[in-house]
Amino acid sequence: MAFSPNPRKDFRELPVSERSIWSSWAALAPKTRLKVSLVVTGVALAGIFISDKLEQKLPAEDHAHTTTTKYP
């Protein structure tokens, strides 16, 4: 009997319906994981830059002096 450092069944052998999100992610090819990670990072960076540009063009209004709630 050969020594197995991980006594659990290899996650790639499990049916997809029984995998966790992490094991499904780990089952993807490394190039695919890299591509997905780069796309997610690119979308996040684009969102940051777009929101900064929008904030420069359309600054938020100051509503500090227009509140209608009065505290005792």
**CB proximity list for 39: less than 8 A, separation 6 or greater:** none
Diameter of the chain measured on Cα atoms: 77
Task: Report CA 66 to chain centroid distance, whole Å.
Answer: 37
Kindly tell me the burial class for residue 23, based on how many C-beta atoms sit within 10 Å of its own C-beta (0-12, 13-18, 19 or more): middle
Q: What is the pLDDT of residues 13-36, one digit of tens each?
A: 778 888 888 888 888 899 999 999
Q: What is the pLDDT of residues 38-69, one digit of tens each?
A: 999 999 999 999 999 999 998 877 766 665 66
Given a contact cutoff of 8 angstroms between Cβ atoms, the answer to whether 27 and 11 are in contact is yes
Given a contact cutoff of 8 angstroms between Cβ atoms, the answer to whether 13 and 26 are in contact is no
Quote the pTM value: 0.60
